[in-house]
Structure 1
Amino acid sequence: MGQVLESRGGGDAPAAVHGDPLPRRAGRWLVRVFGPVDDVRSAVETGAAVQRPIVTGRRIAVHGPRDGVDGGAMAALLSLAFAHYRQDRVLALDVDPGTAPLARRFGVRARRSLADVADGNPPDSFDAVEPLLCAVRERLWLLPGTPGDDGNGLDARAYRGALLPLSRFFGVTVVRSGSGLPAKLRDSVAAGAHAHVVVAEETRDGVVGVGRTLDRLIAAGDDSSPSRTVVVLVAGEAGSDPTFDLAGALDLLRGDGIGVFRLGRDRHLSATSVIDPRRLARATHTTVTRVAAEVLRRSL
């Protein structure tokens, strides 16, 4: 598997697959016991940044400009991070069924959808909307955009009408978007977001895809989108494009005011569909928490 966020499809590999091999996990234990205080302090500060208080709920859109990277994994990881650190509710909203929906990453099955919320009266309390939601774990709920995998039943108008009444009951709403959405619905997702996470391969084509996504956001009238965007470049096969100037591409993105993170390969994410946070690689934990802190800061 080339990418950390790529999904195999089909059944899961054995649950014992860890993101880090055994020697690295053992080394991590030694670092935790004897490691420098600054490393601990940095982790605590990052966690505190994810916990920062917010006055109104934040909506964060996760975009995947290409099908080669499973943006659903990043949306799931961010949702799990917010639910772990924060004390308010978190909603993972999957408006792009695609091939790796959030339900499969969470290992749950949702029975209702955002289309159901749009068809009824706007909810006036969380108790009214909770029966429509799928509980994932403490403080985290899932809601697909539509009841099926074909995406029928949700358009831009229904999305706008249901999103605002629903998201006000949550501290953070993570919305999984994607290149396969109808243009109007995709633009509505972008317009309704306070901040954006763009996930792409760490390749020439991946960076070009990021540029196209940003151009689309700006063309829709959102000139501030670069300052509210975090890009996550996912490691691919080593040496796949030796002529690609990765350092130059990173400098170019950062020069536009965009936050940029690199996410390495993770055996657990590559080998399984259902994410078990306890088995993720240490580097994955660290990067996802930093992305969560940064995108929340930019959303404010």
Structure 2
Amino acid sequence: MADQPRTGFPIGRPDTEAQAPQEPSQTTQRSSSPGGFPGMTPAANQTAVRSAAAPAHANVPAPAPIPRHAPPPSTPAAAARPEKSRRNGGDSLWERVRFEVTDAITSGALSERLIRGCAAVEAPITTGRRVVVLGTAGGAGTTTVTAVLAKLLGSIRQEPIMALDATDQAGDLLRYLGAPAPAAMSALIRNFQTRPVRSLPEATTNAAACGNQVFAADRHDVPAVADSPINPREWTDVSSTLSRFMAVTLVDAGNAPLSRHAAALLETAHAVVLVTPPGDHAPAKLASIQATLTGAFPQVQQLEVTVRSRDSQERRLADRVLPFDRHLAGGGALQLSRLGSRTRIAATEIAGMALLAANRA
């Protein structure tokens, strides 16, 4: 039976086949001369052809054999890639050592906090919970908190989670979540209004899949103007539909807690996470916002969270405080494996508190 032509990946060594053209004997006697396979010696006729091609009087030493597994000269050193990932990690080497020593001295107290936080995140829920993230000042970190909560809830609960960037001006939520493509919330709303939604694939048709059962959409198609609130009636229909399929719906509402836009989002919320900047964040202003929300939305449970900046020198873990993290500050796609140890503990505790507050509503 005649040999069939082979397809797929080449089986020859790239360092030898790329330098010299294939000899006729290799094509005519392929079945009996396995010279193209790594680790095999060339056939006798191939050796004879190479010997005859060289002059007899040329007393030139043969070139040193190229190591079979050595990288090509143009290939960058592989050791540089782990260094880059360590630089992008949330903890430096000193911080990792300090965490391990502290955890050992305190008999695993830090690890115990992480276990308790995960147990709170895994708490059973009745129907889909809706949590709105509001900032009390510009640059407080609402998008960071929303992305971290969505990733943690999706990875620990392993249930569908929806994260919506409902800010007046489109933010970076989809980029933080690692969305592969843009996803307009207007298309999501239009889909719910024009066709019945009976399954999770139908509910997420116009959403971006971000891994770990996390889906996302934003308002990137909305003009960036100060007064562009979401229609309360439309939002009521959307939030109720999402709650049928999503364990938790997280909404990044931006930094306008007393606006009509935030009021429409809070109308159907179970809990609100108030994100405050570090340091002196005007306690009087925060108390005023909390009082206003309590009077207008008494059914919504409130949780205050502080996001520390690079300038903060405080390193200890505190309740409802998200410490500064180099990976989060990088602005790229969020990867939980690169979060700092203390950041992971604090974020897990905050996610558990937010879910507990939403369950009380």
The question of a shared fold, defined as TM-score above 0.5 by the shorter chain, is answered with: yes
Cα separation, 2, equivalents of 1:38 and 1:282: 13
Q: Which position in structure 2 is the counterpart of 1:230?
A: 303
Deviation at 1:43, TM superposition (A): 2.2
Cα separation, 2, equivalents of 1:153 and 1:66: 18
Q: Which position in structure 2 is the counterpart of 1:7?
A: none
Evaluate the alpha carbon distance shift between residue 45 and residue 182 of structure 1 in structure 2; reply closer, same or farther with a 3 A threshold. closer
Select which of 179, 187, 200 maps to 1:126: 200
> TM-score scaled to structure 2, two decimals?
0.65
User: Which deviates further from its counterpart, 65-74 or 29-38?
Assistant: 29-38
Cα separation, 1, equivalents of 2:106 and 2:290: 40
List alignment gaps of at least 5 residues for structure 2: 1-83
Evaluate the alpha carbon distance shift between residue 170 and residue 224 of structure 1 in structure 2; reply closer, same or farther with a 3 A threshold. closer
Q: Which position in structure 2 is the counterpart of 1:215?
A: 291
- Does structure 1 retain, via aligned residues, the 8 Å contact 2:131–2:251? yes
Residue 192 of structure 1 pairs with residue 268 of structure 2: yes
| Partner SS, residue 48 of structure 1 | helix
Select which of 327, 333, 346 maps to 1:268: 327
Residue 64 of structure 1 pairs with residue 120 of structure 2: no
Deviation at 1:111, TM superposition (A): 3.5
Q: Number of paired residues?
A: 265
The one-letter code of the counterpart of 1:223 is P
Cα separation, 1, equivalents of 2:180 and 2:233: 26
Select which of 269, 290, 299 maps to 2:349: 290
Cα separation, 2, equivalents of 1:238 and 1:87: 34
The one-letter code of the counterpart of 1:158 is E
Cα separation, 1, equivalents of 2:178 and 2:282: 28
Hey, which of these two has a bigger chunk of helix by percent? 1
| Partner SS, residue 346 of structure 2 | helix
Evaluate the alpha carbon distance shift between residue 26 and residue 97 of structure 1 in structure 2; reply closer, same or farther with a 3 A threshold. farther
Cα separation, 2, equivalents of 1:37 and 1:265: 22
Rg bigger for which structure? 2
Q: Which position in structure 2 is the counterpart of 1:104?
A: 175
User: Which deviates further from its counterpart, 109-118 or 44-53?
Assistant: 109-118
Question: Relative contact order (C-alpha < 8 Å, sep 6+): which is higher?
Answer: 1
Evaluate the alpha carbon distance shift between residue 75 and residue 293 of structure 1 in structure 2; reply closer, same or farther with a 3 A threshold. same
Deviation at 1:38, TM superposition (A): 4.4
Evaluate the alpha carbon distance shift between residue 123 and residue 209 of structure 1 in structure 2; reply closer, same or farther with a 3 A threshold. farther
Deviation at 1:288, TM superposition (A): 0.8
| Partner SS, residue 137 of structure 2 | coil
| Partner SS, residue 297 of structure 1 | helix
The one-letter code of the counterpart of 1:233 is T
The one-letter code of the counterpart of 2:304 is V
- Does structure 1 retain, via aligned residues, the 8 Å contact 2:229–2:264? no
| Partner SS, residue 246 of structure 2 | coil
Deviation at 1:35, TM superposition (A): 6.6
> TM-score scaled to structure 1, two decimals?
0.77
Matches within 5 A, 1:1-300: 16-29=87-100, 36-96=107-167, 98=169, 100-119=171-190, 120-121=193-194, 122-145=196-219, 147-148=221-222, 150=224, 154-180=230-256, 183-220=259-296, 222-225=297-300, 228-236=301-309, 237-238=311-312, 261-300=320-359
